[in-house]
Chain A
Amino acid sequence: MEGTKLSRRQFLGGTAAVAAASVLPAVSTAGTAMATPAGKLADSAAALTPWVPIDVEKAARRGWETYKGRYNASDGQSG
């Protein structure tokens, strides 16, 4: 398998697909739309109620697009 020289870049994105994918719009508008929240992430996690269900297919598609490089520049993807 090592001899096949699989491109490193082709495999980047697994993590970005999940953790970084859809953050951009929210981050880019956060400064103008609202004050920076204070506190800990755990407090924010506890405040996610009532839960608004995630659009499963939308999330999955976004993950695929991220892996395939659609958002590389804006997501700061390296390698």
Chain B
Amino acid sequence: MLGQIAENFPGTLFNQVPKGLFNFGGAGINAWRSTCGVPIGTGALLAQLGAPQNVKDELFAWYEKTALPTEACRTSYEKGDWETPGWTFVVPKKNIPQAVPKTLLCHASLGRWVEAAGGPDGAWVKTFGTGTDAITKAASDRCGKLVFDMVQKLAELINDWKAGVPIAGKLDPAVATCLTAGCHGGNYDVMVENCAPHVNGKMKCDESCHQ
């Protein structure tokens, strides 16, 4: 996407941004499974563009609440104009199971999807083969499609923002009560040290621990 912006606006600094600058975010930052690398990269681009908070919140809230991945990647592939020779191309599978991440964190986001897909030994994963190689391939298929979906949403949002289309940036309703109930509120029903009392953010916090 930076490449498109650089091409569309030659002479700006956007053609000087180092490639690979945000690769550190892969697999939740160096495979620590913390914040998913996709919101890291998309958030970085929005920051570079000077996007307002509502645009960033809209994107992250969309990730949090949307059943992902969608079939958009596969649908695009089926148009038949993808460049497949010359590299290790892997066909995106059709009818992938979906899960709502309910978080921006890699660990939980991926974990919920693996569960929705029937687990590491489930039928969907077995379509990729056997053993640990199968779950690796299945997860790669899922996360690649997640990238496709998120970049698509990001591009749409940027185009809308630049066109003056109102963008709500609405957070999950549960966020408003994070400090008054549940894990972060006054009545701790779980171990305090696990819940960061009196500290909240923008992630939804009513249905699941965002760990």
Contact = CB atoms under 8 A, between A and B. Distances in A.
B177 to A, nearest CB: 29
A10 B1 contact: no
Nearest to B8: A52
Chain A interface helix/strand/loop/mixed? helix
Given A13-B37, A46-B50, A61 B44 contact: no
Contacts of A23: 2-3, 6, 15, 17-19
A6 to B, nearest CB: 5
Nearest to A28: B19
Contact of B41 (A4, A6, A15, A44): A15
Nearest to B2: A23
A9 to B, nearest CB: 8
Interface residues of B, number: 79
Contact size class for A? 35 or more
Contact of A26 (B3, B120, B145, B148): B3
Interface in A33-68: 33-34, 36-37, 39-48, 51-64, 66-68
A6 B143 CA distance: 12
Contacts of A40: 13
A78 interface: yes
A76 B20 contact: yes
Interface string B77-118: 000001000011110100000000000001100110010000
B167 interface: no
Contacts of B154: 18, 59
Interface of B: 1-28, 30-31, 36-38, 40-42, 44-45, 48-50, 72-73, 76, 82, 87-90, 92, 106-107, 110-111, 114, 120, 132, 135-137, 139-140, 143-152, 154-156, 158-159, 162-163
6 contacts: A4-B132, A48-B9, A51-B162, A59-B152, A63-B1, A76-B19
Given A68-B90, A68-B140, 13 more contacts: A1-B114, A12-B37, A13-B23, A13-B143, A15-B25, A15-B26, A53-B163, A54-B5, A54-B155, A55-B155, A56-B156, A67-B144, A69-B87
Of all A-B residue pairs in the complex, the 8 with the closest CB atoms, nearest first, are A22-B3, A14-B37, A12-B26, A15-B41, A11-B27, A18-B41, A76-B20, A15-B25
